[in-house]
């Protein structure tokens, strides 16, 4: 088994990963609603792509998913931004993401951060005209590929 596939075998399959991140996103939205009075609506459905050049031998056995984009109408006031980022970071860290995000934009009425995870998953959280939350998984094997590799791996 090559090292890239062995690395992916240590991760849950894409269905389990997506389910965990959807749960995480729901917790984030719930807390932002409870503490900051935000309401949320789903804007886009989830999408999937192949893993890319870091995993050239996978073909359709590996997948990266962009989960649904969630949007909250209107700008999150600057005075609430740091608290909102702390809420996202607190919940995300329980799923293996960095608690401190990468700051992409930090201007009055426009903020954008990205929380990262070592397996290349990321959470984009931003506010401007509206406030949005989107999660992208890192590369994970499909359930079928995970089972196939497990069943063909010799035991010692």
Where exactly are the structural domains of the chain? 3-152
Range among 57-61, 82-86, 151-155 rated most confident: 82-86
Residue 70 scores a pLDDT above 90: yes
* Lowest mean pLDDT segment, chosen from 42-46, 65-69, 81-85, 109-113: 42-46
Helix (H) or strand (E) holding 132: strand 131-136
Residue 109 confidence class, pLDDT cut points 50, 70, 90: very high
- Please state, for a pLDDT cut of 90, what percent of the chain lies above it: 71
Q: What is the pLDDT of residues 124-153, one digit of tens each?
A: 999 999 999 999 999 999 989 878 766 555
pLDDT for the residue numbered 152: 57
pLDDT for the residue numbered 59: 75
pLDDT for the residue numbered 64: 94
CATH of region 3-152: 3.30.2030.20
- Please state, for a pLDDT cut of 70, what percent of the chain lies above it: 94
pLDDT for the residue numbered 151: 58
The mean pLDDT value for 2-9 works out to 82
């Amino acid at each position: 088994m090559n090292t890239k596939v062995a690395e992916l075998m240590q991760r849950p399959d894409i269905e389990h990963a997506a389910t965990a991140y959807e749960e995480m996103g729901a917790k984030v939205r719930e807390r932002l609603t409870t503490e900051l009075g935000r309401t949320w609506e789903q804007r886009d459905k989830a999408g999937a792509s192949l893993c890319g050049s870091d995993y050239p031998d996978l073909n359709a056995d590996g997948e990266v998913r962009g989960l649904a984009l969630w949007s909250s109408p209107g700008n999150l006031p600057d005075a609430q931004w740091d608290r909102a980022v702390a809420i996202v970071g607190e919940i995300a860290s329980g799923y293996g993401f960095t608690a401190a995000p990468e700051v992409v934009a930090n201007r009055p009425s426009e903020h954008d951060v990205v929380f990262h995870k070592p397996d290349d998953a990321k959470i984009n959280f931003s506010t401007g005209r509206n406030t949005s939350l989107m999660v992208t998984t890192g590369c994970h094997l499909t359930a079928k590929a995970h089972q196939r590799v497990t069943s063909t791996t010799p035991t010692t």
